[in-house]
Amino acid sequence: MSGLSYLDSVILGVVEGLTEFLPVSSTGHLTIAEKLLGYEVDNKAITSFTAVIQIGAIVATFVYFWRKIVTLLGAWVRGLANKDARANHDYQLAWAVIVGSIPVGIVGFLAKDLVSGSLRSLWVVAGALILWSGAMWWAEREHSRRAAEGTVRDEHDITIKDGVIIGLVQCLALIPGVSRSGATISAGLVRGLDRVTATNLSFFMAIPALTAAGLYELKDVDTKVVGWGQLGVGTLVSFVVAFASIAWLLRFVRNHPITVFVSYRVVLGVALIVALGAGWLSAT
């Protein structure tokens, strides 16, 4: 297998940064991009590269939300030491993020060979893109119903139970094509959170999961295929594009439902099925 070029690392960095936080599946899009660029999508060197450049997107999250992150950490530390401080909603939010990040870490570690192996099939991506679109549509419908009833909750009402349930749903995002943000935002809407709150929580829960995945995959980087220079370029591009993507998505969800992305997901999934069925693309 030939080495990853700098141009390809830029392309994959753009794809990662653009799709990491949109509910369209970054892993699914990276898998498609890798195949179109001529790489074996289940090659360990390539899957490690795409996992590591996620760190760029996570750094973008830290930079964008640094004030809120500092506030959450402060509230959490104070709550551990002071019973009265536990009434602060930021203390509850911090715990929701912590406990919600545990399930995907456990499942991701136990199923790492499956996730980076047989699940890295374009058939899986196509099916997940279409099927999870139905879940997103249902979640938005539930949100509309709750909004009509006046029972939608905001950031001040997040509970640890919300974190646990959303964290469990996040595990489904290990399947390429589901989308981590699509899974967590949908779960948040079903739990009765408003779109902005569900989206913010999705960002916060991405930090532990993606940081751990990226650092863990560093050990599997094959410098014969992916040089440190290409890895650095891909990560930097991912950071820049992800920062812009975060800012855009937060403005977008204030006034638009996530079902806007459903049509795109379904069209892409159907197009993949046609391409695979016709033999224009191989699944791996």
In angstroms, rounded to a whole number, what is the distance separating the alpha carbons of residues 189 and 193? Answer: 5
Contact between 196 and 254 under an 8 Å Cβ cutoff? The reply is yes
Summarised one tens digit per residue, pLDDT across range 224-268 is 667 788 889 999 999 999 999 999 999 999 889 999 999 999 999
Q: 114 pLDDT band (50/70/90 cuts)?
A: confident
For residue 236, CA distances in Å to 13, 23, 42, 229, 248 come to 8, 22, 24, 11, 19
Mean residue pLDDT of the chain comes to: 89
- Range name among 6-10, 85-89, 151-155, 184-188 with the lowest pLDDT average: 85-89
pTM value is 0.89
Residue 60 lies in a domain: yes
Section 25-30 average pLDDT: 89
pLDDT higher than threshold 70 for residue 222: no
- pLDDT for res 2: 53
In angstroms, rounded to a whole number, what is the distance separating the alpha carbons of residues 280 and 144? Answer: 41
Q: 207 pLDDT band (50/70/90 cuts)?
A: confident
Higher pLDDT, 22 or 224: 22
Contact between 162 and 193 under an 8 Å Cβ cutoff? The reply is yes
Domain tally for the chain? 1
Q: Which domain holds residue 151?
A: 6-277
Residue 178 lies in a domain: yes
- pLDDT for res 121: 86
Per cent of the chain over pLDDT 70 is 96
Residue 113 lies in a domain: yes
DSSP codes joined into one string, the chain: -PPPPHHHHHHHHHHHHHHSSSTT-HHHHHHHHHHHTT--TT-HHHHHHHHHTHHHHHHHHHHHTHHHHHHHHHHHHHHHH-TGGGGSHHHHHHHHHHHHHHHHHHHHHHTHHHHHTTT--HHHHHHHHHHHHHHHHHHHHHHHHHHHHT--B-GGG--HHHHHHHHHHHGGGGSTTS-HHHHHHHHHHHTTB-HHHHHHHHHHHHHHHHHHHHHHHGGG--TTTS-HHHHHHHHHHHHHHHHHHHHHHHHHTTTS-TTHHHHHHHHHHHHHHHHHHTTSS---
Residue 233 lies in a domain: yes
- pLDDT for res 35: 87
Q: 1 pLDDT band (50/70/90 cuts)?
A: very low
Higher pLDDT, 45 or 253: 253
Summarised one tens digit per residue, pLDDT across range 128-159 is 999 999 999 999 999 999 999 999 999 889 99
Residue 1 lies in a domain: no
- pLDDT for res 15: 95
79 - beta bridge partners? Answer: none
Tell me the residue type at 158: I
Per cent of the chain over pLDDT 90 is 62
Residue 255 lies in a domain: yes
User: How many CA atoms lie less than 13 Å away from 8 in the CB half-sphere?
Assistant: 19
Residue 282 lies in a domain: no
